[in-house]
Chain A
Amino acid sequence: MGAGIAAGADTGPISSQEAAFRAQRAERRRASLVAFSILAVCLLAAAWVSEFYPSSLIAGAPRIGEYFQRIAPHLELRHLLAGTETEGSLAFWFYRLDSWFLLILETANMAALGTLGGALLALPLSFPAARNLRAPNLVRIACRRGLEAMRTVPEIVFALIFVWAFGVGALAGILAIAVHTAGALGKQFADAMENTEMRPWEGVFAAGGSWPQACRYAILPAALPDLLSTALLRFEINIRSASVIGFVGAGGIGQELYQVISFNNYEEVSAIIVLLIITVSCVDLISERLRRRVIEAVA
């Protein structure tokens, strides 16, 4: 079959094109090989610097399994559906389901409020941060740097600061998520705005509109589907961060998880992790649907 094609292509400009194609392919393969070699050398160097040795990996790996064995629940088939008093039942494993459920709700709530607050903070900063909207240099640079600072500091650091300032609880967590989210979303919002069409922008100015009016009427409508989509995606990410920042006392299920880990209440650790996995998957599923709906509705 291949021979038939080759026979047909054996003459004139077609075969010379084929030769050119092969030369190009060979050139590309050589370039890829070089790139991969460089990457491999870098990886090895990085591993050596960070003491990522195969020996320590082999020595430590079994301990991971050991930990999982410890936190594994003791379930017994004949007692599986028995009440909270019977050892070996599901109910015994999840004996504090009611309070954990409330804590999970609090975690989701933190993520939702943090995302909303962050998005509302990000929006006004993203217009001057978008390069194509030509805000005065000083304002643009201040906004870009500000957003950068907010997103490069991890939530957990903000959480530490806010716990220190406002005390242990969900408020600190919400604020921490909101600030980090504002930085991350502000950058993504500005990117979305940089991709919008500029003709309406000129149209609003030509009609005597001001800069804020041009942002509102020419840019916002065009960028809105993108903005909503990135904000909802960020909500999914924030559910995860919300369950971790509780470790430093910023509310939600993370606070509880930290306690059961440090008190070595092994079975409770696994129970909470299972709950978290279920919650995060549910939120991902729902949020995915919601995102599609919202985009369809505004697009």
Chain B
Amino acid sequence: MLRLQGVSRRFGAVHAVQDVSLEIPAGQMLGVIGRSGAGKSTLLRMINRLAEPSDGRITFENTDITALKGQGLRDWRTGCAMIFQQFNLVQRLDVLTNVLIGRLNHRRGLLAHLGSLFAQFSAEERAAALATLDRFGLLSTALQRADTLSGGQQQRVAICRALMQNPRLILADEPIASLDPQNARLVMDTLRQVNRQDGITVLVNLHHLDVARAYCDRLVAMQAGRVVFDGTPAELTPARVEQIYGVSEAEFHGDMPEAAEAPLFPVPAAALA
């Protein structure tokens, strides 16, 4: 059980997240939706402490997450793997090493830590990484450099890296925003498979309501840093969306500035004038 109590985060005068309280039971697949700037990323990043809350408490099974530091913090981050919109793989390393990065914090003691700096991974670790890649049909790419893979493949490699951490929780920040529809479905299927088969709690930021409804057990909608809806996908009807955001569902999607939706060959403004 992950519990957020009155969590807030300010950037100067901007209240990115305001007084958010949530209880997320183990094994749930929770979708967080909201328009650009609603505070979804900030909320997720506070959970694994890539961002620090300005206020409030986050606890996981009686551990105060907000108070962790050093090795304790690294252990927590290992336990709640993060998936990023831009995958955050090391482009110039091969896929296998990228997946093994998920094991970096599993070595204890100074010597083992030093060994990790010389890429000393054990045969068991490599075998586990290869098995994970095989599970998602990526085995043949193991020795390729990450930047030779398609976006969808890279995101699934990132999921493999996350699984190597043996996480209790996966935090996915707009994992499909840079992908085409087919790859988006593949990645969402993978996340749900991980949720159902491995029993890993998944928190996923999404900006497409259809995707959120199709994949999640529960949806949380945010606006201006606050939670404005918390319920089942069935309860978040188009009418409800309009009531919450004051715009139709089509408009809700419309004004979302997304890198992936930018034209492939942007026309210079001067040429249009």
Question: With a CB–CB cut-off of 8 A, which chain A residues contact B77?
Answer: 205-208
Which listed segment binds A: B79-87, B133-141, B194-202, B244-252? B79-87
Q: Any chain A CB within 8 A of the CB of B20?
A: no
Is A176's beta carbon under 8 Å from chain B? Answer: no
Q: Is A167 an interface residue (CB 8 A)?
A: no
For window 210-230 of chain A, which residues contact chain B by CB distance below 8 Å? 210, 212-213, 216-218, 221-222, 224
Q: Is the CB of A208 within 8 A of B74?
A: yes
Is the CB–CB distance between A221 and B74 below 8 Å?
no
Contact at A202–B84, with CB atoms within 8 Å? yes
Query: Given known contacts A213-B104, A217-B101, is B165 in contact with A208 (CB within 8 Å)?
Result: yes
Q: Which of A202, A203, A213 contacts B116 (CB 8 A)?
A: A213
Chain B residues with CB below 8 A from A217, complex form: 90, 93, 97, 101, 104
Tell me, in angstroms, the Cα distance from A171 to B81 when the chains sit together.
Answer: 51
Query: For the complex, what is the distance from the CA of A291 to the CA of B101, rounded to whole Å?
Result: 30
Contacts of A222 in B (CB 8 A): 90-92
Asked if A207 meets B102 with Cβ closer than 8 Å, knowing A199-B84, A200-B91, A222-B90, the reply is yes
- CB-based nearest A residue for B117: A216
> Shortest CB–CB separation between residue A75 and chain B, in angstroms?
55
Instruction: Please classify how large the interface on chain B is, using the bins under 10, 10 to 19, 20 to 34, 35 or more.
Output: 20 to 34
Q: Is the CB of B117 within 8 A of A203?
A: no
The yes or no answer to B144 lying at the interface (CB within 8 A) is no
The residues in B between 75 and 125 inclusive whose CB is less than 8 angstroms from any CB of A are: 75-79, 81-82, 84, 86-93, 97, 101-102, 104-105, 113, 116-117
Query: Cβ of A205 and Cβ of B50 under 8 Å apart?
Result: yes
Q: Is B153 an interface residue (CB 8 A)?
A: no
Please give, as numbers and ranges, the residues of chain B lying within 8 Å of A209 by CB-CB distance.
74, 101, 104-105
CB nearest to A214 among chain B residues: B104
Question: Known interface pairs A200-B89, A216-B117, A222-B92. Does A206 touch B82 (Cβ–Cβ under 8 Å)?
Answer: yes
A208 vs B68: C-alpha distance in the bound complex, in angstroms?
Answer: 13
Is residue B161 contacting chain A, with contact meaning CB distance below 8 A?
yes
Query: What is the CA–CA distance of A116 and B211 in the complex, to the nearest angstrom?
Result: 55
Quick check: B165 and A203 within 8 Å, CB to CB?
no
Whether A204 is near chain B, meaning CB under 8 Å from some CB there, is yes
In the complex, which residues 43-88 of chain B have their Cβ closer than 8 Å to any Cβ of chain A?
Answer: 48, 50, 74-79, 81-82, 84, 86-88
**Given the complex, which residues of B lie within 8 Å of A216, measured CB to CB?**
116-117
| B238-256 residues at the A interface, CB under 8 angstroms | none
Once bound together, how far apart are the Cα atoms of A61 and B50, in whole Å? 66
A175 to B104, CA, bound (A): 36
Task: Report Cα–Cα, A205/B79, bound state, in Å.
Answer: 12
Q: Count the A residues whose beta carbon is within 8 Å of the partner chain — how many?
A: 20
- Minimum C-beta distance from A269 to chain B (A): 49
Which of A207, A213, A221, A224 interacts with B117 by CB under 8 Å? A213
Contact A203 B90 (CB under 8 A): yes
B81 x A207 contact (CB < 8 A): yes
- A207-B104, A207-B165, A217-B101 known; A199+B88 contact, CB < 8 A: yes
Contact B101 A207 (CB under 8 A): yes
Nearest residue, chain B, Cβ from A201: B88
Report the separation of the CA atoms of residues A212 and B104 in the bound assembly, to the nearest whole angstrom.
11
In the bound complex, residues from chain A placing their C-beta under 8 Å from that of B117 are 212-213, 216
B145-179 to A contact mask, C-beta < 8 Å, 1/0:
00000000000001001100100000000000000
Contacts of A207 in B (CB 8 A): 77-78, 81-82, 101-102, 104-105, 161-162, 165
Residues of B within 8 A of A218 (CB): 90
Contacts of A205 in B (CB 8 A): 50, 77
Once bound together, how far apart are the Cα atoms of A43 and B102, in whole Å? Answer: 59
A173 to B162, alpha carbons, bound, how many Å?
50
Interface contact A221-B78, CB-CB below 8 Å: no
- What is the bound-complex CA distance between A209 and B102, given in angstroms? 8
Residue pair A221, B84 in contact (C-beta under 8 Å): no
Partner of A199, one of B79, B81, B86: B86
A217 to B120, CA, bound (A): 12
- Given A203-B84, A205-B50, the answer on whether A210 and B104 have CB atoms closer than 8 Å is yes
Additional A-B contacts beyond A207-B165, A217-B104 (13; CB < 8 A)? A200-B90, A202-B84, A203-B88, A203-B158, A206-B81, A207-B161, A207-B162, A208-B77, A209-B105, A210-B113, A212-B113, A213-B117, A217-B101
Residue contacts A-B, CB under 8 angstroms, 9 given? A199-B87, A199-B88, A200-B91, A203-B158, A204-B90, A208-B79, A209-B104, A217-B101, A221-B92
| A positions within 8 Å CB-CB of B | 197, 199-200, 202-210, 212-213, 216-218, 221-222, 224
